[in-house]
Amino acid sequence: MRDYTKFYINGSWVEPTANNTLAVENPATLEQCATIAIGNDSDVDTAVAAAKAAFETFSQTSVEERAALLDKIAEIYMARIGDIAEAIREEMGAPISLASTAQAYAGLAHITEAAKILRNFAFSEDLGAHRVVKEPIGVCGLITPWNWPMNQVTCKVAPALAVGCTMVLKPSEVAPLSSYIFTEIMHEAGVPAGVYNMVNGDGPGVGTALSKHPDVDMMSFTGSTRAGSLVAQNAAPTVKRVTQELGGKSPNIVLDDADLEAAVTRGVLHMYNNTGQSCNAPSRMLVPRGRLAEAEQIAAAVSETVVVGDTANKDTTMGPVVSKVQWDKIQGLIQKGIDEGAKLVCGGTGLPDGVDAGHYVRPTVFSEANNDMTISREEIFGPVLTMIPYDSEEEAIRIANDTPYGLAGYVQSGDMDHARAVAGKIRAGNIHINGASGGPDIPFGGYKQSGNGREWGAHGFTDYLEIKAIEGYTAA
């Protein structure tokens, strides 16, 4: 069992100020896999002070120095990618096939992309006799979730480091193991003392202290909309910048000219990826009413191909959800769908067949739903797909936008011009046509209650920069 009871502050592993610990559970086996320390205000004060002191010098380093540092981090990350994958499998139940590819490699992709962008990034421009410069914002508080742990840690840490910021990371206390390994990587890479700090803890203890801290210049948060709102409220008195990547209830519009089997198959498998625990999951599939019965049959057949079970087995395609809290929530929402009259195509409440332990959920598809049902409104964050029929394209677009969220949208069509036209009418930050998905250079973020700001690629640098106009700078 892993003993991760120290914090990383000012370039060293240090003891917490209080002896508070938390057991980390493997959601597939329900066994304890690690013990972590839980921090408090005092730990946050120490970490922020280290970051503030380090900012004076690190903010003045050259592009070449920071790019070389990112290269070194990427080199060591690659050498330990197997350790990271195993940690992700243990901490949040990702099947090893997913943990060792998409989950672990997402982190490497963000680091290498940041180094690439940095070498060509314009930190200044001249406008007539004046110069506009982009400078690092300062000390950044980074709060990351459990569902894509390395993706979310690195898409914050890498751009912050690239532009010259210093930081304090609070990874999710539910899935902190991979972040501990990542911190070992940062130390081995020679990140200067105080530039990167990590304090484990929960939201009320560490998250609130970071958000309120007067010496933290910006907060970058990924998680639920409810928690994101609290971060913003806590940050408001000090008028610090807050960026948020929050929840979603993304529509997947299957147009009448789509290849139905391909579109439904793609949508169902995408919904089940990562056990449905992705904020941009295509959880509402909008289908022409006349083709709904056929779509149900395809969805049920695809669901039968899902292999649920041992996360260490390379043939397993779906693991458990992350915790008993999540499992209970999902079970309640599945039952709510049944109670409100949606048609249960497959799945349902309880454990999957052949599974007698772990936080596993049956791959579930509802149909004949409407957009007022709870399963159409709330983010379930599990392997539950809701199919909603529509009678006209205008109605489909209206349903797609009838949500407080706006993170992603999906359009399936056999005509690209048709798909592009519909994509332009969906109010969301990322639209995917016929299953296309961008890389780490494409901006990621949402409209409405799905958050603000953008992560990934060059757009991800922006939130960590301040704009300064120096008037008369180039005057003779």
Which residues are known to be catalytic? Answer: 245, 279
Distance CA 301, CA 316 (A): 17
Long-range pairs, 68-71, Cβ under 8 A, ≥24: 69/161, 69/189, 69/190, 69/191, 70/111, 70/112, 70/114, 70/115, 70/118, 70/158, 70/161, 70/162, 71/115
**Strand ranges for 102-260 from DSSP E:** 124-127, 130-136, 139-143, 166-170, 196-198, 218-222, 241-245, 251-254
- Determine the longest span between alpha carbons in the chain, in angstroms: 79
Q: What share of the chain is helix, strand, coil (3-state, %, to 5)?
A: 40, 20, 40
Tokens of 62: 């050259």
Sequence-separated (6 or more) residues with CB below 8 Å from residue 160: 140, 142, 166, 167, 220, 464
Q: What interhelical angle do 81-92 and 104-118 show, nearest 10?
A: 130
Interstrand relation of 430-433 and 451-452 (parallel, antiparallel or unpaired): unpaired
Alpha helices (runs of H) in 213-323, residue ranges in sequence order = 225-235, 260-272, 292-304
Question: By three-state DSSP, how is residue 348 classified?
Answer: coil
Distance CA 432, CA 281 (A): 11
Q: Which of 206, 185, 173, 241 is nearest to 48 (CA)?
A: 206
Task: Give burial (CB, 10 Å; 0-12/13-18/19+) of 146.
Answer: buried
Is 69 within 8 Å of 63 (Cβ atoms)? no
